[in-house]
């Protein structure tokens, strides 16, 4: 289990308390040292999440992401289907969560992530739920890896080029949901039909 941007360790403590094997990623030296003392059973990595090498075996993420860095961290985690994220429950700014979970009107980024993950907003968190209190509400954005992706992982680069070119070329691109985009990609002849696959290993 990864806690990305662990901060003071509120989530790390809760996860470790229920027996999860936790790797906490926190770039601030002072907070990382405090976290090692508070949760000695967790592995604490003092590094920037955007510079982190993700595990090669399936893993889960539970994290309260820094709002300013959330988009970059999510791109790092969710854009490449070769990164074996089994699931991610991410506290992010409310507008960001709502935009990424919305299937229509679509955005290129949402279409691409939906090829590999089912995205949903599962909870809204008001500012008063946090200390210090932020100026905006937050939401829990949940990503669950699809048992059968909409596009073959081997076609990921070609699919991204297809989708981004489509969004640049036509305002009507936003009218297609992720399933329609995947179907259009297959119809174009650039992709192959996805065969039934299973994932090896257990999420950490």
Q: What is the pLDDT of residues 51-100, one digit of tens each?
A: 999 999 999 999 999 999 999 999 999 999 999 999 999 999 999 999 99
Q: What is the DSSP letter of 194?
A: P
Third-level CATH fold of 2-148? Rossmann fold (3.40.50)
Continuous H helices in the chain? 10-17, 29-38, 70-78, 94-101, 108-114, 156-169, 178-187
Q: Residues 39-55: what's their mean pLDDT?
A: 93
Q: For residue range 168-189, what is the model confidence (pLDDT) as tens digits?
A: 988 889 999 999 999 999 999 8
Between CA 155 and CA 8 the distance in angstroms is 40
What pLDDT was estimated at residue 200?
A: 44
Kindly indicate the confidence band of residue 34, based on its pLDDT and cuts at 50, 70 and 90: very high
Residue 201: per-residue pLDDT: 45
- Strand ranges across the sheet with 2-4: 43-45, 23-25, 2-4, 59-64, 85-93, 138-145, 117-125
pTM: 0.87
DSSP 173: G
* Residue 195 confidence (pLDDT): 62
Q: 196: pLDDT confidence band, cut at 50, 70 and 90?
A: low
Q: How much is the mean pLDDT over the chain? A: 91
Which pLDDT does position 203 carry in this prediction?
58
Q: Is the CB of residue 118 less than 8 Å from the CB of residue 144? A: yes
Q: How many CB atoms lie within 10 A of CB 37?
A: 9
Helix (H, G, I), strand (E, B) or coil at 153: helix
Q: Is the pLDDT of residue 202 over 60?
A: no
pLDDT surpassing 60 at residue 204: no
Does residue 19 register a pLDDT over 80? yes
pLDDT over 60 (residue 18)? yes
Domain boundaries, the chain: 2-148
- Integer Cα distance of 198 and 194 in angstroms: 12
The model's pLDDT over 118-152, given as tens digits with 9 standing for 90+, comes to 999 999 999 998 888 889 999 999 999 999 999 99
Q: How many Cα atoms within 13 Å fall on the side-chain side of residue 49?
A: 25
């Amino acid at each position: 289990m990864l806690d990305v941007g662990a901060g003071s360790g509120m989530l790390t403590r809760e996860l470790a308390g229920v027996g999860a094997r936790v790797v906490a990623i926190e770039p601030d030296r002072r907070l990382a040292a405090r976290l090692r003392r508070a949760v000695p059973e967790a592995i604490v990595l003092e590094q920037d999440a955007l510079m982190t090498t993700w595990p090669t075996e399936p893993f889960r993420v539970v994290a309260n992401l820094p709002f300013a860095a959330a988009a970059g961290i999510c791109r790092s985690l969710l854009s490449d289907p070769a990164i074996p994220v089994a699931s991610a429950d991410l506290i992010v700014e409310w507008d960001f969560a709502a935009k990424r979970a919305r299937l229509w009107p679509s955005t290129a980024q949402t279409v691409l992530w939906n090829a590999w993950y089912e995205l949903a907003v599962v909870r809204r968190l008001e500012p008063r739920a946090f200390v210090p209190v932020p100026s905006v509400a937050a939401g829990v954005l949940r990503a669950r890896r699809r048992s059968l992706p909409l596009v073959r992982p081997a076609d990921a680069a070609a699919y991204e080029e297809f989708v981004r070119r489509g969004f640049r070329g036509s305002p009507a691109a936003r009218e297609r949901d992720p399933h329609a985009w995947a179907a259009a990609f297959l119809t174009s002849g650039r992709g192959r039909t996805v065969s039934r696959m299973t994932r090896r290993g257990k999420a950490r």
